Every structure is written in C-alpha cells, then in structure tokens.
Structure 1
Amino acid sequence: MITLYGCYRSRATRPLWLLAETGTPFTHVPVIQSYRLNQPKAPDAPLNTASPEFLAVNPIGQIPVLVDGALTLSESLAITMYLARRYGGALGPASDAESALMEQWSLFAATAVEGPALDIRMTLDKGMKTAEAEAFVAISAEKLRRPLGYLAGALKEDWLVGGRFTVGDLNVAECVRYAAAHGALMDEFPAVKAWLARAQARPAFQKMWAAREAEPL
C-alpha cells in the first residue's frame, strides 16, 4: 500500500493529482510545513515537517514523501514519475523515448519555470504594494518569457508527449500554475494558457483542487 505524506497546500498537489488520475489506493498522512506553526515542536502540535515522527521518514524535513513497500521517495516530480511508470498506465511512458521526454519536461519545469513562477505567485499573493514588488514581478515575468515561448512552440498537439495527457503535462502544469496569477503574462502565450486550462479541467485535477481549497490555510 502506498503512503503519501504531505498536505494539499504544498507540492504534494502533484502526486495527489496523479493518484486521483489513476485511482490507485493509498493512505494519506497529512503533514504540514513547520513554518506554518508558532510552536511546531510543542507536544500538542499537529504532525509537521519538524515532528520527530516525520523526520524518521524524511530526515531532510520536506514534503511530500512517498513510501511504497521498501521504497521511500522525496521530491515531488520524482514521485510523480515513479507513480506514472508503476501505476499510471497511459499517464506513464510507453517507450524509452517517451520516458526521456517526460523526464525532460519535468526537469524543464523544475529548472526553467518553477522559480520565477513561484516568485510571481508569492509576490502577488502578498499584494503589489510597493514599486520594488512591481519590479520584482516584472523581472520574474521576463525570466519566464523564453521558457513559456519554448513551451508554446512545443504544443503543436493538445499535449506534450505521445498525443495524450501524461505525467509530463501534469508536472509542467503544476509549475506553470504559479504564474497563472499574472494574467497579462499568460495572455502573451495563448497556446500555453489553453493547454493549462485543458489540464486543469480534468476531473482528477478538480477533485484534487477541491480538497486543497477545503484544507485550512
């Protein structure tokens, strides 16, 4: 039985979305980030990334973590790739070439998209109250224009690999999602905007997102 440690308001959304796509049975152990608590090590604190019980699972103290039999995996994109290969059916690769492409897109998302996209999301969530914040968002948007242009050029079909929705789309979509709050930037790349909408219209994403919205801040 798979056990997934993490909360919905974290990068655990990625494996939680994939597990919703596959319908694979799993046990979910809610673990929240220690920085969200005033006293994460208090005896009555909820299970969090500083809890000894969780550190016994992942000594680095980060979520999500997957345990599947003797295998323990951290890093959300590695977890989704593993789940897609083992349980994902058409979500996973059908050949070595497809496997390489899905890994390429996942690494592209992590290295070229996630950093500046997350900077945009976090800054906009706090409110653009200063000139410095506006400048920071503008710089982050500029960093994304080349990777988003590259992604747009690759979207000659509805999906990135094999003409079907795969873990490659899921991993990239979850990183691009952070930048979606910058409506003007997304409007510059209509193919990317439409692709993200297709991905997020999937029932499994909607199920995962509803659970995320229901989770306390």
Structure 2
Amino acid sequence: MSGSSRDAILSRIRHANGGRPYDPARQAVVDARLAEAPPGVIPARGQLDPEARLALFIDMATRASATVVRVSNYAAVPEAVADWLRQNNFPATLRMGADPRLAPADFGATALDVTTGASSGGDLNALSHAEGGIAETGTLMFVSGPGNPTSLNFLPENHVAVVAAGDVVGDMEALWSTVRSREGKGQMPRSVNFVTGPSRSADIEQTLLLGAHGPRALHIIVVG
C-alpha cells in the first residue's frame, strides 16, 4: 500500500470517529497503554487453585494428543525420558539444550546417547525446557536461547518437553508477565513459541496428519 493510499484511509477513519492527526490526548492514551501493558479479558476457566490448575493443564494437553507424566524432581527426568522412548520403540538418542534447570538431571545414568545444541534436522528425539504451561488450553510456552534452541521444538520427529509444575499458570497473559518481569520492559527473547500437542494438519481432504509442520509426538514431563 502506497503512503498516499494509507494516509487517505487513516484520514477517513479519523474523520469517522472525530479524531485528528497528532491529537495529544489520543497519543497520551496510546503511550499509557504501551507503557502499562494492561491485560485483556482473562477467562475464568484457568483461575483455579494450583493442583486443579495443573489437572486442567494435563487434561487439555492430553486432549491435544500429547502424553504427560509427572515426576517429583529433576533427578527423575532422565529415567522418565528413557522410559517413554523405550515404550514407544524410539531410538535411545536425544538432542537437548543446556538449560541450567536441567543440571540435576544426570542423563549419564541412562543408556541414552545424548548430544547438546541446536538441531540440524537429523535428530529423531529432542528435549527442551518450557518456560511454562497454560492450563486453559494445555499449551506450552518456549522461549529461544542457548539453553533451549528453537530448532529442538520443531525439527525432530519426537519432542520431550519439561515444565515445572509451579510454572503452569491459568492463562497466556500470566506467562507474558513472567517473561516481561525477567527480561525487563521492552526486552524479549528473539522468539516465543506456543505449542499445543504434536504438529498436525487437515488441510488436504480434511484428513488429519500428525507431524505436518513439526514433531509427530509430544511428551510432557511435569516436574514437582
């Protein structure tokens, strides 16, 4: 759209709602909203006590074709990963990042062949740590960085996601607040991805196909 066309459209909109270019009062409203980042309408669905919220998250994630297991601490994560791979007859290989939250997880105690770093597309299994979970939809939030390369979320066939029980919140807005408070106002990770279940598509003849744009399987390990 050319500048003159855009200006003409915006001019008609301003005329319709009684506005004028560079209106100080309207600009102040915009500036305040950007500065405060107020939340929108928050559904009541996820506003539950922690255990009920976690139960809703697990239920919704399962409905989205993910599998979920709970472990008491990070030390139990390696065996949980090995168990899931073995139960599904997947190779005992794993590509993962270097998230410091996984430091207590000793993968050397398992028979898994573990490599670290971003995936180039040749890995069958990957593990990453989610920033948090959203109870109302069973969704995971992943933020990019050396600890959790984004390629691990999408390129391997099978994705194992670790999330702390205390990081499962009721709604998306609560997770955005967590990221903002950690990163600082105006600073965000290079990418933020929301994942609900394994990749799927029914674009061709309305036939559901898993793994259309990413992993065929998503296994969630809830810690705590």
Q: Shared fold by TM > 0.5?
A: no
Structure with bigger gyration radius: 2
Q: TM-score, normalised by structure 2?
A: 0.28
* Higher helix proportion (structure 1 or 2): 1
* Higher strand proportion (structure 1 or 2): 2
